[in-house]
Structure 1
Amino acid sequence: MKNAREKALLILNDVFYKGAFLEEQLEILSYSKIDKRDYAFIKEITTGVVRNRTYLDYVVRAYSKIKFSKIHKIILTILEMSIYQMFFLDRVPNYSIISESVELAKIYGNKGSVGFTNGILRTISKLENKPQVKIKDSIDNLSTYYSHPRFYTEYFYNNYSEDFTKKLLKSNNEMPPFTVRINTLKINRDDFIKELGKEGFSYTKTHYNNALNIENPEGIIDSDLFSKGFFYVQDLASILVSEYLNPDKDSKVLDLCASPGGKTTHISAIMENTGEVIACDKNKAKLNTIIENAKRLGSTNIKTKLNDATIFNKDFENEFDYCLVDAPCSGIGLYRKKPDIKWNKNIEDIENLSKIQISILENAKKYIKPGGTIVYSTCSVSKIENEDVISKFLKENSNFKIEQIEGYDTYKMFPHINNSDGFSITRLIKIS
């Protein structure tokens, strides 16, 4: 386990201080010859520390005799890992955690940092309970305890309620379900469930008939169920985007930001392989991913097109009955799945993204025939990237109107309510 702890430390160091993405680092590690138990431990520790970093640092500040800014970065990461294990996991005794942390400090620190690491961890290990956050300001308190950016907590605290915010923040720190979309081009729901049982996989239902949460997903990607194209791994919110587009058979559909092809292939299935779906991306390698997914899933009505959604394409003008704009966004609805987004996207990034989003919508409006439908979606729950973008678009385009989804102008999905990623979906109709 010692070597696994060191690997976890180096991954966290790359994520926190070198701009690496946790998901990519773990994927690279999974391809190496690593023991399954070690990999599970590394994934649990790294994900847990990234999710709870603000709280862990609060505890360090509370018990450190050294000014927080003076603590060496890699020593701080060792402390974060150790405190996470002490208060969020219960498999390893505290004395073992301290011993292994001190050994890491010997490798990556100096004599002083070794003594500091040993002393602060021994003090913290004597606490009977997980330390509480004692900050008077409610928003700062919640942001620290649940380790979320202040702007995120502040928005929901002020626009929803304290109880809603607590439940959302808590849910964002939990493991997401492993959701699959049944590929109805190849198998129906009842037969898929039978096949799951034969392969030893258990499931729970979602409120969408053709989406299931797999309870024991290990090995399912290597199974015949996957190679035969019976399912696609896709979050429930992402699945529902295509459902709310709901294209008719034999129609012509444009998916402007299509990679990796989950929504594209779902659209294909809804249309039962009739009509035509044009799937676009500005990256050729990503188009190849769409082609591979379409082939596995048996989607034969999809054509790929190299295209930058921010640049007007004359060839698309007035060509389509439906257009999906699953816009590039901050991804702050994905905190549960990709916790490092908490620390690499700020309010300025979100504001800049909204400019790109509106430019894509301004192009999409020209591609749709009168009476056609645009669905605008983001894996973000921010008002800036959704309601504000739509409001600006409608002010400048009176020939479009909103068609409500589930009684909302912009339908939002939240992890603590829908057990899904955070998503926002708006449906627009071109009147003339």
Structure 2
Amino acid sequence: MKLHRNLVFAVVDALGNIFNDGEYADKVVEKTLKRDKRWGSRDRGFIAETTYDIVRWKRLYAEIAEVKAPYSRANLFRLFVVWAVLRGIELPDWKQLESVPNRRIKGKFDELSKIRKYRESIPDWLDELGEKALGEKLWTKEIAALNQQAKVILRVNTLKTTKEKLRKTLLDEGIVAEAIKGHSSALQLVERANVFTTNAFKDGLFEVQDASSQLVSEFLEVKPGQRVIDTCAGAGGKTLHLAALMENKGQLIALDIYGNKLKELKRRARRNGAHNIEPRTIDSTKVIKKLYNSADRVLIDAPCTGLGVLKRNPDAKWKLQPDFLDKITKTQQEILRSYSKMVKSGGKMVYATCSILPQENSEQVMAFLASEEGQEFKLAKENKVYASKTGFDGFYMALLEKKS
């Protein structure tokens, strides 16, 4: 691979924004890719994948390069040198790429790879937390799986097409996708591609959604004609899936505290041809109280640490702080107790997170069932999804039934 100066400099600039300015990696990459209209798909792919790679392995590379935050521009180039050497890429003779002996880089890599917190490039506290929560064996496998690059998974929009028709439509646009066993609406890309530029996407035939995430809406067991509430809808990935499962029949109320996310959901719903979605901003407790005892189905896709989705958000490893778990578990319990009141007698509710920690998952459900609000409910089933077992994101979902 030949390195091009403008692409390498773009990567280094992006790393500075992420590591030193605390910006989110996905937003930085999106902004960086707009810098030069002459960049082709290969150039853009190099920038995005290299940036994410160095973000993912920041701790390991920083140890090898012997640099510490905040990173000077010279230090960011040193991180890039480590990345390039470990991939066997020949370094050009640029003054920014000061030569660190290849043998020393590889030697330090071999040495540090024997220690999990360096090998998997995670903070000490997170390594200790993961081992304590899951046990050494499962945590070791899980954090290794979560450091793999995320696959591109599509969810077929069954309001407009079928899995087989979409597969053929994408093939006509030069994109090869395969069905995934055990996932009714999922297709996996054989090779990475920018699917957002396809006519199939513009026509609303699919959404990009991880295979594990697709299990959540199905877990809620919705039926056409029901009143369903998605309580933490955000930009609506799961809401749109619910609309498809409901065949556009019935009422689907999408709630969120962020009005701007619901605006994005409206836009996506138009493209998807989903007509039964009613977005409502939670701007006071009245919004929730009005819906008490009214819903056949309630989805609580709760805010969480996001430890199950490190594949696609590797910078979360560096943004998460040890005290966040205490704060978020309190929020989750408050949400569960409050939003569960929207389920009517005989109705069902799913509590889900994209975390793998029992503190946010099964322990939360047990605490809820022991609470005053939870005494009317029983746990029907739960699903603990691990990246090390599926190859997809880590998720948790519990189906709770309200007694008649």
Using structure 1 for the length normalisation, give the TM-score.
0.85
1:354-393 Cα offsets, whole Å, 9 max, x none, are 1111111111121110111111111111222222322221
Q: 1:390 & 1:357 partners in 2: Cα distance? A: 10
Per the TM alignment, residue 197 of structure 1 is displaced from its structure 2 partner at its CA by 2.3
Quote the residue 2:248 is aligned against. Answer: 273
Per the TM alignment, residue 300 of structure 1 is displaced from its structure 2 partner at its CA by 1.1
What is the aligned-residue identity percentage?
28
Asked if residue 322 in structure 1 is aligned to residue 327 in structure 2, the reply is no
Quote the residue 1:109 is aligned against. Answer: none
Quote the residue 1:26 is aligned against. Answer: 29
Per the TM alignment, residue 261 of structure 1 is displaced from its structure 2 partner at its CA by 1.1
**6, 15, 40: which is aligned to 1:12?**
15
Q: 1:307 & 1:203 partners in 2: Cα distance? A: 38
Per the TM alignment, residue 158 of structure 1 is displaced from its structure 2 partner at its CA by 4.2
Q: 2:287 & 2:364 partners in 1: Cα distance? A: 18
Q: CA RMSD in A?
A: 2.4
Of the structure 1 ranges 141-150 and 166-175, higher mean CA displacement relative to structure 2 is found in 166-175
C-alpha distance 203-14 of structure 1, shift in aligned 2 (>3 A): same
Q: 2:107 & 2:384 partners in 1: Cα distance? A: 36
Quote the residue 2:90 is aligned against. Answer: 93
Per the TM alignment, residue 292 of structure 1 is displaced from its structure 2 partner at its CA by 1.1
Asked if residue 368 in structure 1 is aligned to residue 343 in structure 2, the reply is yes
Quote the residue 1:351 is aligned against. Answer: 326
Aligned residues of 2:16 and 2:71 also touching (Cα < 8 A): no
Per the TM alignment, residue 126 of structure 1 is displaced from its structure 2 partner at its CA by 5.5
Quote the residue 1:133 is aligned against. Answer: 111
Per the TM alignment, residue 346 of structure 1 is displaced from its structure 2 partner at its CA by 2.1
Quote the residue 1:111 is aligned against. Answer: none
Matches for 1:278-297 after TM superposition, within 5 Å: 278-297=253-272
1:274-324 Cα offsets, whole Å, 9 max, x none, are 111001122222111111111111111111111159776221111101111
Matches for 1:205-284 after TM superposition, within 5 Å: 205-206=179-180, 207-284=182-259
Q: 1:248 & 1:71 partners in 2: Cα distance? A: 53
Per the TM alignment, residue 47 of structure 1 is displaced from its structure 2 partner at its CA by 1.1
1:104-125 Cα offsets, whole Å, 9 max, x none, are 6xxxxxxxxxxxx54xx13x44
Q: 1:134 & 1:7 partners in 2: Cα distance? A: 28
**361, 382, 388: which is aligned to 1:416?**
388
C-alpha distance 376-229 of structure 1, shift in aligned 2 (>3 A): same
Per the TM alignment, residue 46 of structure 1 is displaced from its structure 2 partner at its CA by 1.5
1:421 maps to amino acid: D
Asked if residue 195 in structure 1 is aligned to residue 169 in structure 2, the reply is yes
Quote the residue 1:81 is aligned against. Answer: 80
Q: 1:254 & 1:307 partners in 2: Cα distance? A: 13
Could you say what secondary structure the match of 1:403 adopts? Answer: strand
| Number of residue-to-residue matches in the alignment | 396
Per the TM alignment, residue 39 of structure 1 is displaced from its structure 2 partner at its CA by 2.5
More RCO (CA 8 Å, sep 6+):
2
Per the TM alignment, residue 412 of structure 1 is displaced from its structure 2 partner at its CA by 1.9
1:86-145 Cα offsets, whole Å, 9 max, x none, are 11x23x314x2xx43x326xxxxxxxxxxxx54xx13x446666622359xx8xx20111
Using structure 2 for the length normalisation, give the TM-score.
0.91
Quote the residue 2:155 is aligned against. Answer: 181
Between structure 1 and structure 2, the one with the greater Rg is: 1
Of the structure 1 ranges 154-163 and 35-44, higher mean CA displacement relative to structure 2 is found in 154-163
